[in-house]
């Protein structure tokens, strides 16, 4: 089975347009599997698509954390 990359990109862009990724009560970005549930993707996508989007979410999480660290470092200077 092939993954429809257009559908994946559209979903990822939808998530990006929401702004910052959701966080837990401690301010930590939710893990990829929790984000899948948060956005309701677990109920509407196949296992293949969920796996692919989960990998994309991991990258988004890492990027958002890196940007936050850069912002904090600039504030210290």
> Which token pair is 74?
């600039």
pLDDT of the chain, 77 residues: tens digit per residue:
577 889 889 999 999 999 999 999 999 999 999 999 999 998 999 998 999 999 999 999 999 999 999 988 888 87
- 19-28 LR contacts (CB < 8 Å, sep 24+): 20/64, 21/60, 21/61, 21/64
Among candidates 16, 24, 11, 32, which has minimal Cα distance to 67?
Answer: 16
């Amino acid at each position: 089975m092939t993954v429809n990359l257009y559908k994946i990109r559209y979903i990822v862009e939808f998530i990006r347009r929401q702004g910052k990724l959701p966080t837990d009560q401690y301010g930590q970005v939710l893990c990829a599997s929790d984000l899948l549930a948060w956005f309701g993707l677990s109920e509407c996508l196949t296992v293949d698509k969920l796996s692919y989007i989960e990998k994309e979410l991991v990258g988004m999480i890492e990027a958002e954390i890196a940007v936050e660290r850069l912002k904090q470092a600039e504030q210290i200077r």
